Structure 1
Amino acid sequence: MNLSSFAETPIIAFTILLAVIFTVPPIFERLKLPGLVGLLIAGVVLGQNGLKLLDSESDTIKLLSDIGKIYLMFVAGLEIDLEQFRKTKNRSIGFGTLTFLVPLIAGIAAGRLFNFSWNASVLIGSLLASHTLLAYPIVSRLGVVTNEAVTVTIGATIFTDTGALLVLAICVGIHGGEFSAISLATLLGGLAIYSVVVLFGFDWAGKQFFRRTGDEQSNQFLFILLALFLASVGAQIIGVEKIVGAFLAGLAVNDVLGRSPVKEKVEFIGSVLFIPCFFVDMGLLIDIPAFIKTLSSIWLTLVIVIALIGSKFIAAFLAKLLYRYNTAEMLTMWSLSLPQVAATLAATLVAYQTVNPAGERLINEGVLNSVIVLMLVTAILGPVITARVATALQVSESDFATDKLTNWWDNSQEQLVEDKHNPFTIIVPIYNPQTQRYLIEMAALIGRHESGRIVPLAITKAHIQMDDPQLVTALEESKQRLNLTREISQEFDVEVSPAIRIDDDAALGISRTSREQNASLVVMGWSRTTGLRARLFGSVIDSVFWSSHCPVAVTRLLSSPTTIQRILVPVGDLTRQTIGAIRFAQILADVNQAEVVLLHVSDRKTPPHLVDRFAAQLSDIAAKSQLQVNTNIQTIKGDDVARVIIREAEKFDLAVLRSVRYRTAGGLAVSHVTTQVLRELKCSIVLLGEPGY
């Protein structure tokens, strides 16, 4: 058996794919290149122009690539922020229309310039009309997501992606054979009815199912997958490409999933397995001689790239004139709408694989290769420009003015009056006797400061029979741990009300108890659950962060909280979560008469006046606290944010961080500096998370 026939075995082909997905992206990310580029190159190397280990025509590759293609569009629908769209609906539709029509016209002109048919030219235009929010993590890190220009661009995504897929469906239908005005009307009517059924029917069914199943995450996960594939199959039945159904399914279950752990699992499965398989298959389809020939006659590729970049700029410029945005806002809108990844690549592959009865493809290899070059250029150019221009955006403080901070650090008079009837309550889940002392001390310090009480909580795993000897033993051990917490609490002269709960799920047991006790804060110890198991099933911390009704402070305390004298709070933006972290640090500092340092690490290219303005805003926020705490602002310029934080933290006893997760609309996780900081910090840590975040 030769090497190529040996690799045709499904299990071997799947093993090769897993090896590629596991090893290649991290290597390219270390080289400061997108992991997707590595997957494309790996497909070329392993395909028919290279080692011939993988064949794009094999059933295994076809199945995994098809699943990856529809998963990519499903996640794109999931990641559209419907709340942001609702806030700026009219302007989002306005900019969405501009950034859809102008590239569409430019693409049609490019196609006709190179003698493509009208149908193929319109299809090329639709490929340029959508965009992928690859640079969203950058504007989020800079704290400018609330800027109207950013929210309008985010909201426009729903319009551009939907419009592009609609044009794709029509072009594919026309290319398939006889296509009259009646058949076009039938297709559009069927698509409209189908869209309503999916968007409203799946949304209703999902909410009903989730309400009835409660905590059964496995069944909820399967329901979401079933909705995805049902929508994809339904789209094919009415004569529309399946990625259209997948995108509609993503929009439909968007509200259902919210920020739930099930959404994290759905995205995780796609981002680590199916979507990478799609990109490897894209690499397998690249014919090296044809690709070189395309680049040698570079005009088609050059015209498509220039048409995209120029048309997106024109759309952003027209939006600037229409809505009176400044230059920084215009450039940010342009750079955010540049990257062409999710919808563009999926639609390109569909168009390339669409063959009419005469054996002609809807688009040729030249267009396919040009779009791949376009993806590489815009995926790098868009985020780079965003990182440079978004720093000049005005930080919107409207949320702070109109959105009352209802969390426990809000010291308004209304809150103080309410506290007389509902005392400040801290839930402290305990499990490890070796670490629980520092945990209880932390809760007791805060509880005493707020004139509240602490509720040490022991969760005991439920058994079918309540007289099970193992359950009896576990309850006795819980009582012993709670007795120790009572002794520690008395040292701090704070009210303590120990509680034992029998529950199947530790995380939900914590959240339910905190709700029953009307808790103001949950203070937890650090979870050691890491790696693949935690990513697949989630850790207790992840679940409590999501399900809790109040803020959650996860601690890794290396010494007694009573000895803390210097507290570091890294500040990357001015969101509500950041203010919560600052208030938390100030309360701890007030207890110990400690110092708080707010550290902002800015890019070396950030203009000095912008750094000064950010520092002034930080100073105002710190000064609004009613506590007399020594709070200082420190700004440092550096390219590696995580490394600067880790270096500066060596001088401090405690670092207060906030929990943040970012994902791109392409479904691929984007690492955040918090991950590296948590791994390498040598001091004590508090990781603060808000409800449902």
Structure 2
Amino acid sequence: MLLIFQLAIILLASKLAGDLSVKLRQPAVLGKLLIGIILGPAVLGLITRTDTLEEISQIGVILLMFIAGLETDTGEFKRSGKASAYVGLAGIVVPLGIGYWVGVLLGMSALNAVFLGLLLSATSVSISVQALKELGHLKSREGTTILGAAVIDDVVVIIALAFVMSMAGGDIDLGMMVLKKVLFFAGAILVGWKIVPWILRRFAPLKVTEAVVSAGLIICFLYAYMAEYTGVAAIIGAYAAGVAISLTNYKHEVTGKVETISYAVFVPVFFTSIGVKVEFEGISSQIGLIAGLSIVAILTKLVGAAIGAKAAGFNWRSAMGIGAAMVSRGEVALIIAAIGQEAGLVDGQMFAVLVVVVLITTIVTPPMMKLFFKQKTAAVEGGVQ
């Protein structure tokens, strides 16, 4: 019964907070993130972290990225390949180099400092996707560049992490790690080209309710599972599934129904649960370190990705908007931090600091994007969902 009460509180509070955020001329997602902090252990304690709530949140982010894939303009995506590579790689090199230098200044060993740089290089655009949607830029050249850069970022950082872990003595076969990722992307393309349309055509005539939408969700979850299984983030798999379905005649039917399901329950839980993870206990003595690392995390990704975007031909305003969208480290960096703690590359105190830094980068991303991206009037398709 506790879960039911928590869901009711989350849905009510996230919708009201999102509406208030829009009235204050900020993306709705910012209000949803902040209300999570207020509802969670850090302030009111009405919502506590549970495994079930975490699973619902995971479904929320998977569906959010699935929708982003469904709404991707594949023609623009192909044209943005060069720009995505520039943004993705520049957005890794700058945080990695400066993060390593900061780690050395903090007295870390070379390997631990490299790990810190890698963690700061990670990107999770799940929050940025919603902000882009609300601002009307998800289907723009900037939007597709950001999504492509996120895929590149994820693959490069995870492979680099595997290399670092193997040096740290972890039982990791780097060659196998790379091979599994190559097989995933090759398989995702082949399945998306030949099998996904066939599955949807076979489901369409079935005499059951919402057969096509169910087929779309089956494809989404299988892609996400296989991505996670091969060491690629589940959100990248979900995004790939969305892109595959966007190339079929069932795109609009799946998109409309999945948006209804997602924004009614799962996505609000995801946004709010990020804020719920914030706990202020025991970190008061680390405020200086948190502030310093947060500034480094924000500026290195913002500047690095913006330089890459500028080199790809964007004007400075668009380049800074792209850089801002890449700032959020989200769940990808939290997973990397947990791996590092388990391998002894970060201690418990530094882990707590990094969690707060990751959450800060996530919370500042929507208002930064709002600053650089002009809102398109037609764009309230994401609205206050």
Q: Is residue 317 of structure 1 aligned with residue 310 of structure 2? A: yes
Matched, 1:338 2:331: no
Name the CA shift for 1:257/1:130 in 2 (closer, same or farther; >3 Å). same
User: C-alpha separation between the residues in 2 aligned to 1:286 and 1:49?
Assistant: 6
8 Å CA contact retained: 1:135, 1:336:
no
Q: What one-letter code is carried by the residue in structure 1 that aligns with 2:194?
A: W
1:421 corresponds in structure 2 to: none
The aligned counterpart of 2:155 is 166
Q: Which moved more, 1:103-112 or 1:245-254?
A: 245-254
Answer whether contact 1:106 1:307 (CA < 8 A) is retained: yes
8 A Cα contact 2:85 2:152, kept in partner:
no
Aligned to 2:96: 108
Determine what percentage of the aligned residue pairs are the same residue.
Answer: 19
SS at match of 1:54: coil
2:294 alignment partner AA: T
Does 2:299 match 1:306? yes
Deviations, residues 568-591 of structure 1 (Å, cap 9, x unaligned): xxxx9xxxxxxxxxxxxxxxxxxx
* Corresponding residue to 1:97 among 72, 82, 85: 85
Write the letter of the residue equivalent to 1:373. Answer: I
Which AA in structure 2 matches 1:264?
G
Alignment partner for residue 273 of structure 1, among 265, 268, 271?
Answer: 265
Structure 2 CA distance, aligned partners of 1:109 and 1:233? Answer: 32
Superposed displacement of residue 131, structure 1: 9.4
What residue in structure 2 maps to residue 373 of structure 1?
Answer: 360
Show the counterpart of 2:383: 670
SS of structure 1 residue aligned to 2:247 = helix
Q: Does 1:187 align with 2:172?
A: no
Preserved CA contact (<8 Å) 1:69 1:278: yes
Counterpart Cα distance in 2 of 1:123 and 1:288: 21
Matched, 1:197 2:193: no
Report the residue type matching 1:61 in the other structure: L
- CA distance in 1 between partners of 2:51 and 2:373 (Å): 41
Which one-letter code corresponds to 1:348 in the other structure? Answer: A
Of 353, 356, 374, the residue aligned with 1:387 is 374
Aligned counterpart, 2:108:
none
Indicate how the Cα distance of structure 1 residues 52 and 175 shifts in structure 2: closer, same or farther if over 3 A, else same.
farther
Q: State how 1:361-440 maps to structure 2 within 5 Å.
A: 364-387=351-374
- Alpha carbons of structure 1 residues 257 and 69: separation in structure 2 relative to 1, 3 Å: farther
TM-score by length of 1: 0.47
- In structure 2, do the counterparts of structure 1 residues 113 and 272 end up closer, same or farther at CA, with 3 Å as the change threshold? farther
Q: CA deviation at 1:240?
A: 4.3
Asked if 2 retains the 8 angstrom alpha-carbon contact of 1:200 and 1:252, the reply is: no
Q: What is the CA distance between 1:306 and its match in structure 2?
A: 1.8
The 3-state SS of whatever aligns with 2:263 is: helix
Deviation digits for residues 80-132 of structure 1 (CA, Å, limit 9, x no counterpart): 3212123x2xxx22222221122211111232133153133123213289994
Q: Distance in 1 between matches of 2:137 and 2:271?
A: 26
Aligned twin of 2:33: 40
Task: For 1:125, give the aligned amino acid.
Answer: S
Partner Cα separation in structure 1 for residue 330 and residue 8 of structure 2:
25
What secondary structure is seen at the aligned counterpart in 1 of 2:25? coil
> Hey, what's the Cα distance between the residues in 2 that align with 1:136 and 1:281?
20
Q: 1:71 to 1:295 in 2, by over 3 A?
A: farther
Pairing 1:432-581 to 2, within 5 Å after superposition = none
Gaps of 5+ in 2: 104-111
1:350 aligned onto 2:343: no
2:239 alignment counterpart = 247
Equivalent residues in 2 for 1:8-87, closer than 5 Å: 9-56=2-49, 58-86=50-78
Question: Aligned partner of 1:331: which letter?
Answer: R
CA offsets 1:649-690 (integer angstroms, 9 cap, x no match): xxxxxxxxxxx6655xxxxx1379xxxxxxxxxxxxxxxxxx
Provide the C-alpha distance between the structure 1 equivalents of 2:4 and 2:211, rounded to a whole number of angstroms: 28
Q: Check the 8 A contact 1:107/1:121 in 2, yes or no.
A: yes
Q: What is the CA distance between 1:160 and its match in structure 2?
A: 0.8
> Is the CA contact (8 Å cut-off) linking 1:120 and 1:171 kept in structure 2?
no
For residues 149 and 137 of structure 2, the distance between their equivalents in structure 1, rounded to whole angstroms, comes to 21
Contact 1:131 1:161 in 2 (8 A): no
For residue 284 of structure 1, report the CA deviation from its aligned partner. 1.3
Structure-2 separation of matches of 1:137 and 1:130: 13
For 2:195 and 2:13, locate their aligned partners in 1 and report how far apart those are by CA, in whole Å: 38
* Displacement of 1:279: 1.7
The CA distance in 1 between the partners of 2:195 and 2:159, in whole Å, is: 29
Deviations 1:10-42 (A, max 9, x none): 222222222223332212222223322222222
Amino acid at match of 1:66: Q
Q: Secondary structure at the match of 1:387?
A: coil
Give the root-mean-square deviation of aligned CA atoms.
3.6
Task: Give the whole-Å Cα distance in 2 for the aligned partners of 1:169 and 1:248.
Answer: 17
Q: Distance in 1 between matches of 2:61 and 2:202?
A: 31
Structure 1 residues 271, 295: CA separation in 2 closer, same or farther (over 3 Å shift)?
A: farther
- Distance, in Å, in 2 between the alignment partners of 1:172 and 1:228 is 26
Distance 1:76-1:183 versus aligned 2 partners, 3 A rule: farther
The partner residue of 2:146 within 147, 157, 169 is 157
Summarize the Cα distance change of 1:262–1:244 in structure 2 as closer, same or farther, 3 Å threshold.
closer
3-state DSSP of counterpart to 2:248 = helix
Count of matched residue pairs: 369
Letter matched to residue 296 of structure 2: V
* 1:267–1:220 CA distance, 2 compared to 1 (3 A): same
Higher strand share: 1
Identify the match of residue 197 of structure 2 among 207, 214, 219. Answer: 207
Distance of aligned partners of 1:184 and 1:96 in 2 relative to their CA distance in 1, 3 Å threshold = same
Give the match's secondary structure for 1:41: helix
Aligned partner letter, 2:331? A
Relative contact order (C-alpha < 8 Å, sep 6+): which is higher? 2
User: How far, CA to CA, are the matches of 1:353 and 1:20 in structure 2?
Assistant: 29
Equivalent in the alignment of 2:123: 127
- Give the structure with the higher percent helix: 2
Report the Cα offset of residue 228 of structure 1.
1.7
What's the offset of the Cα at 1:230? 1.5
- 1:218 corresponds to which letter in structure 2? E
| Residues 352-376 of structure 1: per-residue CA shift (max 9 Å, x gap) | 4435255957983333333333334
Matched, 1:264 2:250: no
- Residues in 1 aligned to 2:137 and 2:37: alpha-carbon distance in whole angstroms: 34
Paired residue type of 2:7: F
**Greater Rg, structure 1 or structure 2?**
1
Following the alignment from structure 1 to structure 2, what is the Cα–Cα distance between the partners of residues 99 and 387?
Answer: 20
2:107 counterpart residue number: none
Matched, 1:230 2:230: no
Question: What is the CA-CA distance between 1:263 and the residue it aligns to?
Answer: 0.9
Corresponding residue for 2:113? 117
8 Å CA contact 1:109–1:121 kept in 2: the answer is: yes
1:551 alignment counterpart: none
131 and 330 in structure 1: CA distance in 2 versus 1, 3 angstrom threshold: farther
CA shift digits 1:458-493 (9 cap, x unpaired): xxxxxxxxxxxxxxxxxxxxxxxxxxxxxxxxxxxx
